[in-house]
Structure 1
C-alpha cells in the first residue's frame, strides 16, 4: 500500500512505520491519521510482523502536534466529532492492537504527538526528545486521550502540572516520570528499539496479544482486569504456542512458536 504522509517498511519480523512530513515537523492531519490507521491495521494483520516500531522522519520531531490549521474554525459539534473520530480511528486502535507497538520518540512529541506515543505499548526516547501537552495555551484541552493516558503513566499530580502549564519536559525528566522506558542518543534509538523487538519476538505472539488485552483491561471503566486475565490465561491453554512452549521447556530446548 502506498501513502502520502508515512512510510511503512517490513524487515525481519519488524514493521517500522515512519511519519514522513518533516517540513511540518510530522504534524498530524486528517489524512495522516487515516494513513496511520491503515498502516497499523495492515501490519497487525500480517502474520510475519511480530513487532511494530513507530517513529518520525528527520532529527527534529516524532510528531510536533496536530495540524491546527485544520480545526481552527471548528464549532462545538465539529470539535467533539474530531476528538471522537480520532480516538477511535487511531489512538484507541493502536492501544488495543494485539501486535506490540514501540514508540521511538525522536525529538518533539507534543500535543497529539505525545498522545500518539502514549497510545503505543511503551516508549523509547532519544536524548533530544521534548514532550508536552500544550493544548491549554491554545484554549483547548488534549482531545486524543491525553488527559487519560498521561496520569496513568506519570501520576495525577504530574499530569495536572504538565497540562496546566502547557510546558515541555526533556527526555531525562520523562524517564524519571516513567513516561519513557529508555533514553539513548539519537543514533542508538532505532537500534535499541530493534534489540528490544528481538527479545519480544522470541516469545509467543499469541500470549503477548493476550497479555496486552489483560493489562489494558485494568484501565478501562466497567472492566474487571482480574477476570480478563483469568479468561485470557485460560485461553492460552488451547493454543499451539502453549503446547510448543511447555514442550520446549520440558525438553530443555528453545521454543519455536508457530504463532497460533
Structure 2
C-alpha cells in the first residue's frame, strides 16, 4: 500500500515516499500524509535535520499520479490539486529545520519540484531530472517554473520543460543544483544531516529564514517572524505583558 513514511532517529527525521510500483508518484493521500509529517517534525525539538527520499532505487519521485488528477474538472484541478500541492511544497521549503533531498533515483515533474523545495540535494549517479508535463498536456504546477527557475539556469529549465530533455547527475552538480553525487544518496544525505546535530538549532533556523528572506521566499512572513523573535526577547515586551496583566500603564525601559 502506498504512503509516506516517517522515521526519526539520532536527531534526523527521514520522510520517505513509499509507492515504488508507480515510481513513488504522489497520490492525494500521500500529499495529506506528508503534510501531517511536516507538522509533526516542526514541533519536535529533538529533530535537527530532515531527509526526504523515495523507496527503492529506481525513482526519488516521478511526480503526481495521473490517475489522481487526470479526470478532475478544470476548477477542481487548479484549486485543489495544483494549489494543494503548492501549499505542501511551500510548507516544506519554509520548514524551520534544514532539509536534504536524497535523490536515490529519477526525479520527474512534481518529484523534481519536491527536490527543489528542500535546502540541498544529493543525487545518485544514475538518476535524472525532468519536467515532462508538456508531454501529457499540462504545465509544471508545483513551483517548477518558479522556485526551480531560481535554482537552475534559465536555459536548463527550458531545456527540460520546453524540449523534454533529461538532465543527468553530473550536469546537475555542475549547475549547483545538487551538493553531491553519491552512489548511495540516502547514506550521503544522512551523513550531511548528522553534521547538523553539533550546530546551534536556533542559529540554523534563523539563518535559513534570513537566506529565504533575501531570496524572496515568503519574505514578508520571514521579516515579521524575525522581528517578532527579536522583540520577544526584549525588556519592553516583558513590561508590556506585565502591565497588561496588572491593568496598569506600562513603563517601557527601551533597552
Query: TM-score category by the smaller chain?
Result: 0.7 to 0.9
Partner of 1:235: 230
Any conservation in 1 of the 2:212–2:219 contact (CA below 8 Å)?
Answer: no
Q: Does 1:169 align with 2:164?
A: no
User: By how many angstroms is 1:102 displaced?
Assistant: 0.6
User: 1:208 is matched with which residue: 204, 207, 232?
Assistant: 204
SS state of the match for residue 72, structure 2? coil
Partner of 2:253: none
Identify if the C-alpha distance between structure 1 residues 78 and 237 changes in structure 2 by more than 3 Å, giving closer, same or farther.
closer
Any conservation in 2 of the 1:64–1:108 contact (CA below 8 Å)?
Answer: yes
Give the Cα separation in 1 of the matches to 2:97 and 2:219.
21
SS state of the match for residue 140, structure 1? coil
Partner of 2:134: 136
Per-residue CA deviations over 1:132-173 (Å, capped at 9, x if unaligned) read 111111111100011012210112222122210122111111
SS state of the match for residue 146, structure 1? coil
Per-residue CA deviations over 1:215-247 (Å, capped at 9, x if unaligned) read 11233388479x949956x839959xxxxxxxx
Taking structure 2 as the reference length, the TM-score comes to: 0.84
Partner of 2:65: 67
Give the Cα separation in 1 of the matches to 2:39 and 2:225.
27
Q: How does 1:239-250 map to 2 (within 5 A)?
A: none
Any unmatched runs of 5+ in structure 2? 235-255
Identify if the C-alpha distance between structure 1 residues 126 and 229 changes in structure 2 by more than 3 Å, giving closer, same or farther.
farther
Count how many residue pairs are aligned between Structure 1 and Structure 2.
233
Give the Cα separation in 2 of the matches to 1:96 and 1:181.
19
Any conservation in 2 of the 1:44–1:99 contact (CA below 8 Å)?
Answer: yes
Give the Cα separation in 1 of the matches to 2:105 and 2:198.
30
Any conservation in 2 of the 1:13–1:49 contact (CA below 8 Å)?
Answer: yes
Give the Cα separation in 2 of the matches to 1:180 and 1:163.
19
Partner of 1:251: none
Taking structure 1 as the reference length, the TM-score comes to: 0.82
Give the Cα separation in 1 of the matches to 2:74 and 2:15.
33
SS state of the match for residue 70, structure 2? coil
Partner of 1:91: 89
Partner of 1:22: 20
SS state of the match for residue 145, structure 2? helix
Per-residue CA deviations over 1:160-199 (Å, capped at 9, x if unaligned) read 222101221111111111111110113xx22221221122
User: By how many angstroms is 1:209 displaced?
Assistant: 1.1
